[in-house]
Structure formats: C-alpha cells, structure tokens
Structure 1
Amino acid sequence: MRLPDPGQSAPAATALPRGPHPAWIVAAVAFVTLIGAAGFRSVPSVLMNPLHEEFGWSHGTIGAAVSVNVLLYGLISPFAAALMDRFGIRRVVASALVLIAAGSGLTVFMTQAWQLMLTWGLLVGIGVGSMSMPFVATITGRWFVRQRGLVTGVLTAAGATGQLVFLPLISALATEHGWRLPAVLVAAIALAVVPLVLLFIRDFPSDMGVTAYGAGPGDDTGMRTRATGGAARALTVLATVARKPVFWLLAGGFAICGASTNGLIGTHFVSAAHDHGMPATTSAGLLALVGVFDVAGTIASGWLTDRVDSRYLLVGYYSLRGLSLLILPMLFAPEVEPSMWAFIIFYGLDWIATVPPTVALCREHFGVDGPVAFGWVFASHQIGAAVAASGAGFIRDIQGDYDLAWLIAGGLCAVAAIMSACIRRRSPVDGAVVA
C-alpha cells in the first residue's frame, strides 16, 4: 500500500476493507524504535567499571554523568510530546536518533569527565528523552481506541526488550574489545533506525485515510488536529495539571519508581554485584534477564489496566517492589544463588509494570492533555532516577557498598504505594472526582 505524502491534505478517514490496520504497522515500528532507545540508555551501567579503570573517575562522577542523561531523558519528555503535536512524530523521532548517534560516537574521543557529561549526558539524554514514554502515550492515544492498554503495555515492554538485546552484547564487547567498540555500535544502530521511522511512521490515522483502531462512528480519535506551539503548550499543560492533587500524587509515585529502577538497579546493579565478586558478564546477564520478565510483566499490566482499577495496580506494584529491595543486600554473592534468581524474576515482572496504569490515570484525569501531562509525570520519574544514580554512587564511595541505597529505596516504595492509594477515582459519567 502506497503511503500518502505527509505534505498532502489528509483524505477523509475511512475504514480499510481488508488487511492489517495501519495502526499495527505504526506500533511495530514504534516498538523497534523504543527497543533501540532503551538499549542506548542502558549502556552506561555496563561501562561504569571500564571507565573507572581507564580514566580513574569515581563511581560518583560517572554516576553524575548518568544522572544528567536520565534527568534530561525525563525533562525533555513533555516538550517532546508537545513538539510531536507541532512538528510531527517522524521529524522529532528521526532527529532524536541522529542526536543519539552523535553523542555515542563522540565518546570515543573523550579524555575528561566533562566530555562524558556532554556526550552521553547531554546529547544522548536529549535523544532518548525524545523517544520516551510520552511517545508511547502519543502513539496509543492517536492510533488506538480498542486494546489501548494492551498496546501501551507492549510498547512499554520494548524498553525491557532493548535492555535484553543490548546489555549482554555490550558487556561482552566491552570485556573483549574495550568500551569504545560498543559506543560506536550504538551510534551505527541509531542511524540504521532512522529510515524505518521516516518510511513507516505517520502522525495521525487520518493522514492515511483511516480511523484509529477500534474507533466507532462519530469518534474523532486519530483525526489530525491543528498544530500548536511545542514549548508553550508543554508549559501551559503543566500550569493546568499542577493545580490538581492527582498530578502530584502520580508524579511523586513515579519519581520513586524511577529512583528504584533506572536510577538504582539499572545504573548500579552490575557494579554492586561486582563488589561481591560476581563477573560483570554474569551480572549484566542478570540485568538483561530482568528485561525478559519485564516484557511479560508489562504486557500483563497493560491487559490488567483494561480491566482493573489502575490505583489498585499501582499500590500492589510499589508495595511488592519495596519488599524485594529490602532483602536484596542479602542476596549478592560471587555465584548466582536461587534466591537471586527469584529476585530477578520478580523484579523483572514489576520493573515498569507501573507505566500502563499511570498512562491510563493521566488519560482519565487530564483528557486530551493526557500525553503531555504524562510527559511531566515521566519527568518526575527521571528526576528520581537522576537523584538515585548520583546518590547511590556517592553512598558507594563513602560507605564502600550499596546496602544503604537499597534500604532507602525500599522505604520510598512504601511511600509510593501510600500516594497511589490516595488517588481518587474519576466518574466515567460526569467527570466528577469521587472516593
């Protein structure tokens, strides 16, 4: 089927008579793109020890560079969602991939810590931030009505898949050939994805003359809307949603989510395992295995989000995650014991299972501004991750181990569960907030 030129006026939306709905093609390319973004973002956790050994930079210094990356990954997200409204999904995502390629490729020339901040921190952080979870919310919000929660779970699981694909490969390459080869590989893969985005991603279903998947008669989901200002809209939405307590409850819980996943486990698990005598390739394999179970857990969470109150899901996810972190310090050993296998399986199932219910709550409470609002909620996720990435590194430098970091994170997860329980339900009939 020939795709229409994006510059042409959109034809009237009609249903396709046969064949797969274009929404599934767009979702498939988005899945591949998100796999890459997740893989690019997870690379620094594997390179922490090689960089420390070659340059003598402390874990806190390298963790600070990772903090810049994850902080920008979050702060760019709401603006990226608004820019997708203004300039289109294809242009924003393709530009982001080019930034990632530049940032990763330039690291091979660095000799100072500030250059790590500039390349992997600034350039890659902006790039992956432009393809973060608000990208998922934009795709699902425009292209899907039916099975929206499930597709949200599948696309979110792409992050785990990227981690699964990249971490063992990056670890093996860094061990055998040094850290520079993986950096070049990331740059090459980022550039290779650009043509897929330009060829197959479309901004709205109406651009292809179809309706959103599952849209009924009179449903205008997926119809092209008038472009609005990117940065201005992002800030306007923030000013609006910040007046509602539900926004701060979601943002606070998601900040703790980021601290306990990307910031702590994602950045420091390999280093912590190395402290206990476990080979880097083994610990990287365990972290990748988290990604295997995260795929199943996040897809299941999306399925549950279509059927169960999202608030209850968040309470359960955060509570169980906190308990697992409290016992983690007792599980590290030179060899992988059965108890560590149990932790990896459980933590994988819970890793980003919080995303589908959080997206659903943003859509429920903020309506058409839901994707941009979720961008700001996700920004809090990355602020929490940035604080944990730096904080855990400094705890390691001062205490000589990560034990205190795991315990703090476990306690914070209990706080997130309480915050989720305080979110009030919104009536589907009149939009009123009820108990």
Structure 2
Amino acid sequence: MTMDTAVPSSREYLRLVLLGALVGVPAVLVAAGFLALVHTVEHGLWNELPAALGESMPPWFLVMGLPLVGAALVVAARKLLPGDGGHPPLQGLSVAGQPLRAVPSVALAAFGTLVFGAVLGPEAPLIALGSAVGAVVARLARVNPKQAQLLTMAGAFSAVSALFGGPLVASFLLVEVGIAAGAALIPALLPGLVAAAIGYLIFVGLGNWGGLGTTVLSVPGLPAYQETHIVDLVIAVIVGVVVATVVGASRRLALGVAARSEGRIAVPLFLGALCVGALAMIVRALGGDSQDVLFSGQASLPGLAVATSVPILAILMVAKAIGYAICLGCGFRGGPVFPPIFIGIAAAMIPALLFDRSPTVAVAIGAAAGMAAATRLLFSPALFGALFVGIGFHDAVPAAILAAAAAWLTINAMSKGSTTDAHEEQATKTAGSQATEVSRPQAPEPREQQ
C-alpha cells in the first residue's frame, strides 16, 4: 500500500481530525450491522435449519450444498455487479479504498463467502465497507483528494477495530502497513486512530450506556498464567516456524489454484465449494466437527483452548490449511487473517497437550504466530496474541512475541530468493486483474476551495 502523508496544518488539520472522529461512528455501525446480518443468517442456516429437520448437526446435504449456494452468490456479485466483489484475498490484507459503486458487489460477495462456509475471514469486507463510509463523509465535507484518502482510511480502520477487539491492534496495523513513510506517518494516521477509538465506543458503550455489545476477541475461562517458563518460550519459537510453514504452503497451493483458474470465475468457485464441503465431511468422519473446518474459524477459537485430542487437533489444522488454500485461490472474497489464527492456535495446543502446558500461553502463541504468518507483519500480531488471552496474563506476552517473530522470520525466509516469487506476483496480478479499478483508493473530485 502507498500512502500520501501530506496533511494540512493548523485549523484545517484540526477539522480533518474531527472529521475522522465523525467517520468512526457510521463506519462502525455499518460494520456492526453487516456482522449482525452475517451471524443471524449463518445461525439460521447452520443451527436452526438442522434443528427443524430433526438433526443435531448439519446433515451432509447442507454441508455439501450450502457452500455451493455461497459460491453462486459470489459468482453473481463478481459477474453482475461492478467491482469484482472487492479485493482478492490472495493479495493479502489491503486497506485500499473502494468506490461507492462497488459496495453492493463487495457486500454480496462477502455475504456469500462468510455465511455459507468458505474458509475466509470478515476483515477484508469490513475494511471495504468502512472505507466507503469514509469516502461518503469526505464527499459531504468537500475535502481535497489527499484529505479524502485519509478519511477513507479512517473509515476502514474504524470498522476493523471492532473485529480485532479495539483500536490498539487496528492502529498497529495502520502503522506497520505505512511504516515506510517515517515520521510523517503519525500526523497522517491520526484521523484513523481517532476514528477507530470513537467508533469502538459504539460497541463498548460510554458511561451508563452499554453500547451495542463488545466484540473483543478473547477466550473466556482461561486459567491463570503468571510465571513464564523456558519450555514455553521454546515451544513458541517452534510453533511460530511450524505455523508459518503451514500457512506458507497453503498460500503456494492457493497460487496454484489461482493460476489454473485464470480467466474463469464460476467453475473454480463451484469446484472450490464442493471441495470444501467434502473436506468438512471427511473431518466429521474422522471424529472432528465439520463446522471447525468451514468458516473463518473465529467462532471455533474458544473450543480449541479446551480441546483434549491431539489427533483431532492435527486433523483440524491440516484440513483448515487445505480449505483455506482452496478458498483463497478459487475466487471467494473475504479476509486472509482468521483461518491462519485458527491454524496457529490448533498447532500450539498440540504441544500444550503433549507436555502438559498452559492453554493460556498456547492460545497467545498460536494467535500471534497465525496472524504474523498471514499478514507478514510483526508488532500487531504480537500485540494481538497478548491481548487475545486478556490483559491479566502479562506473562504470556514474551511467548507471544517470540512466536510472532519466529513466524515472521520463517514466512519471509520462505519467500526470499524463492523461485515462486515471480509466479506469486503473476498469480496475484491475475487474481486481481478484474478488481484493479477498485483496489485503488478512490477520492471525490476536488472542488473549488473558497
């Protein structure tokens, strides 16, 4: 991502910061509304419908059929609406803005992906919807294109702050993706930080008002972890390397899927949906839960912390990695971050069970390693891993940092000097060829300044 850090001064800059605060509220409301819709429909299809059919779990025809329905919606969004469904997840986590005319395509493609079981997360569509809100405010406020770009970014990070449990992780993401800008980055990002903080208040409340309900990501009921152990630090490094290797292999598989899907939309999506449904049924036959294979894995994270079977954890980790690769490469639209977090926590829980280690530090290790492998960032994954287990478990922070560092070093070492780099670049260009127009930040046309 490129970022123009030129910002106005004095009175105009203060106005820009205040506009950032204004952007935060509608952006997070849009994010909350979209997440609520996704959760409601998902619950109806995967829980209430099986219960109405007299089943305790989704029957095979739903596990196989619902992903196909989702694929059909994504095909419709990408073929019939402008915008190609938004940013291709194979290109990584992007904060590029979306033009307003692309919003219906982004929303429909994300809905088809998230509700019907594709193995991708909600962060990318939330960024797109939040950036659209920022663009609307910029247009109404009649700011110039450079200021409009900052407000667009402010809307994006206000929306995603709700997903990552507050403005801190979102702000670190903001800093890391634009760190090449140096000292000029701070004033350029201040509107986004303010938007994220103000928007998050809509979830957590203010004073006697309880808000909409917090979306802080955490695992409830974790045991206390108040003393760092050397063995946990060693496990953190090993898990970081393993998770980065698995996620890197998933990405390479996804690149192969994308290369074979070049120029086509419908066929790869439907084949990918069939493969993911079949993968979920195979895991069920092996003793796992098909729901843990489908979806982003976000709702399944607390269950991993209380898992008791090493073989099932290993099966879920492998199956999730394969499903993630398929959905990443075949054309679904969603975020690339949460499935690797699931993979990371599953991987970390295996040595925790084998060596009788605390699940608390295992969750911190896995979350940090998974996010670092997915984003190729370092500081925000370490912070996320530490916050994910709760602010009362500070002794888990060193392990989370080591896991993130090991994953970051490994995932970058896998790409440096690799003969797949050129193929990766070409595949991501292919995956985004139809979305080139909407992957660039869009700003309103400049108006005459009085």
Per the TM superposition, whether the score is higher than 0.5 is no
Structure holding more helix per residue: 1
Normalised by the size of structure 2, how large is the TM-score?
A: 0.30
Tell which has more relative contact order, 1 or 2 (C-alpha 8 A, sep 6+). Answer: 1
Give TM-score, length-normalised by structure 1. Answer: 0.31
